[in-house]
Every structure is written in C-alpha cells, then in structure tokens.
C-alpha cells in the first residue's frame, strides 16, 4: 500500500511539473499492438490516480472495444468531431475503467479521410477540436489507424509526443522509414513541438532467437529512444479485449499487467527526447532458422498457458 501511494504521488508530481500530455500511438503497420498499448497504458496510468482520455482514431474501433464501450453506445465519436464539427466534449464517454474516458470510433470514420480532403486546414482538424479538452485530463492518448493517411497526420499534428509500438516479429522495421519521414515533415510544417517519446517493443517471446534479434536490431537503430520495458506475447493480453477490459482489470497479476504498469512508470519518468530522428533507412530483421521460431506456450504464474 505504501509503495502504491508513493507511485501515485510521483505520478501526480510528474503531471504537475510537465502539464497535460497529448501522446499519439502510431505505426502504419497493423497488428503491432497500438490499440493494446493505448488501452493498457491508459488503464495503468489511471491506476496511479491520473485522468486519462483515449481518442480512438482507428475506424476498426479496437481501443473503444478494449475499454468496454459497446458499439450501440457509439452514437457520437471521432467521426462526428472531425468531419461534422461536433464539439469534442459532447463525444466523451465514460469507460468501464475508473479514471479513463474515451472518444470512441465507428466504421463511419473510414469515410473521414475522403471527406477531409477538400477541407481547409484539414491536417489540424483534430488539434483544434480537442484544444478545449486538453487541460481537463492529465494524459490524452491518440490511438492511430494502421496507415499514414489524414487521420494519422491529424493525430501527429495534435500531439506533443509520439510512441511507436514495434512487434518482435519478422519485418519489424519494415515501413518505419516512411513513418519517420512523415514525422520530420510534420515537425517542419505543422507541429514543431512533436517529439518522439519512445519505442515500445511488443509481442516479445523470450524463447525465440527471432525476438532477441529484433530487440537487438531495434535498440541498435533507435538507441536510447527504446523503452526498457518490453511487452510480452501472452494469451491474457489477447483475451482481455474480448471482455471489454484492459489487462490490469482482466488479470491484474499477469505478466502483461505487470509489463504495462512498468511501462506507465517509465513513461511518466521519461522526457520526450530532443534526439534527432534516425536518418538511415531501417533494415528488415532477417529471420533466423525456423527451428527457433515455432510458436509455443509458457506457463504463467497461475499455472495456465501464456503464449
């Protein structure tokens, strides 16, 4: 209990010292853990007593689902805010997680990319919409779609910081060169305050040579920008969204829950880095022999299987 109270005091002190933080979680590759990271980082920060808002910018709505927001309740969301000028505060919903609110997403958001093309200052629609909300929350997390289209550009234009999840699997760095080029362009033309907070390694399987190789290559390429915390590949993390819960509520003592709590603590301690972005093109991680890369299962703390 004493350790928990101390962590809460440190979290509040961090927010008071730095002010509200708007953080985009982005990677144009799909299936790398963006929504999982946004949902579970939000829940872990809320456990520390912070007020967190998650803005779901992915038409698939995975972050909304992971926070327990039923599709039937998503009558006003990011589509209405960005395309129709609906005030953002009217779209905010309570989630099943204490301390976490959300602006949900629906499949309608897929049409926003086309509708925004002809709009004036289309890259700043989100930034203008959420500006009145930012001071209400300690942390605002923007869950981006798996693309580099206008929705992601809007997120990067609105954000103070960027977190990039990278999965510990084949071609982990594929396409990241284009993401980094886009970040540079946004820094130069739209949002000079955007900084890379860090790289989060996800879906790590300690039993494979491939995961070790990916970690080594990502740390070689990004250096100190990579978080020390690594998110493991676990069955519990995969199951949690189906129950509309973050891992901290679905299985509070699991490896995934411990990892995201550690990531939240590291996130609060870390300053958004002013280190220049890498200029060399990232290389794809070469696969090691297949005999080391067969998926398997490991026993979790309760005797069940975690992949």
- pLDDT reported for residue 71: 87
For each of the domains in the chain, give its residue range(s) and CATH number, in order of start.
Answer: 2-306 (3.40.50.300)
Buried b (16+ CB within 10 A) or exposed e, 72-83: eebebbbbbbbb
- pLDDT reported for residue 291: 41
- The whole model's pTM is what? 0.88
User: CA-to-CA distance for 102 and 136, rounded, in angstroms?
Assistant: 13
- pLDDT reported for residue 272: 65
Helices (H), 209-302: 209-222, 235-239, 247-250, 255-269
- pLDDT reported for residue 16: 58
C-beta of residue 11 within 8 angstroms of C-beta of residue 49: yes
User: CA-to-CA distance for 159 and 139, rounded, in angstroms?
Assistant: 11
CA distances in angstroms from 117 to 114, 184, 186, listed in the order given: 5, 21, 17
User: Which helix H or strand E contains 38, and what residues bound it?
Assistant: helix 34-47
Identify any residues that bridge with 94 across adjacent strands, giving them in sequence order.
101
Residuewise pLDDT in 10s, the chain (307 residues): 555 556 666 666 666 566 789 999 999 888 999 999 999 999 999 999 999 999 999 999 999 999 999 988 888 999 999 988 899 999 999 998 999 999 999 888 888 888 887 777 889 999 999 999 999 999 999 999 998 899 999 999 999 999 999 999 888 888 788 888 889 999 999 999 999 989 999 999 988 888 999 999 999 888 899 999 999 999 999 999 999 999 999 999 999 999 999 999 999 998 766 666 777 766 665 444 344 444 444 445 444 444 4
User: CA-to-CA distance for 236 and 197, rounded, in angstroms?
Assistant: 27
């Amino acid at each position: 209990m004493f350790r928990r109270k101390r962590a809460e005091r440190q979290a509040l002190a961090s927010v008071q010292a730095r002010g509200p933080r708007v953080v985009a979680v982005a990677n144009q590759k799909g299936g790398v853990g963006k929504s999982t990271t946004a949902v579970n980082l939000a829940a872990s920060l809320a456990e520390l007593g912070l007020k967190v808002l998650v803005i779901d910018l992915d038409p698939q709505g995975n972050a909304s689902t992971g926070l327990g927001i039923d599709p039937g309740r998503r009558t006003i969301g990011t589509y209405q805010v960005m395309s129709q000028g609906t005030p953002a505060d009217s779209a905010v919903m309570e989630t099943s997680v204490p301390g976490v609110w959300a602006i949900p997403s629906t499949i309608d958001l897929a049409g926003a990319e086309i509708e925004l093309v002809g709009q004036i200052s289309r890259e700043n629609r989100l930034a203008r919409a959420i500006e009145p909300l930012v001071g209400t929350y300690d942390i605002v997390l923007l869950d981006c779609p798996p693309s580099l289209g206008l929705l992601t550009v809007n997120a990067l234009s609105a954000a103070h910081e960027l977190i990039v999840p990278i999965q510990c699997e084949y071609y982990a760095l594929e396409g990241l060169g284009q993401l980094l080029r886009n970040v540079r362009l946004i820094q130069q033309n739209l949002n000079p305050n955007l900084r890379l907070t860090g790289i989060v390694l996800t879906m790590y399987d300690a039993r494979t040579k491939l995961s070790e190789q990916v970690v080594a290559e990502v740390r070689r390429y990004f250096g100190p920008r990579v978080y020390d915390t690594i998110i493991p590949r676990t069955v519990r993390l995969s199951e949690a969204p189906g129950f509309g819960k973050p891992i901290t509520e679905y299985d509070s003592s699991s490896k995934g829950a411990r990892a995201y709590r550690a990531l939240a603590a590291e996130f609060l301690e870390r300053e958004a880095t002013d280190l220049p972005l890498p200029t060399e093109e990232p290389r794809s991680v070469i696969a090691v022999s297949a005999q080391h890369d067969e998926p398997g299962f490991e026993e979790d703390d309760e005797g069940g299987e975690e992949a």
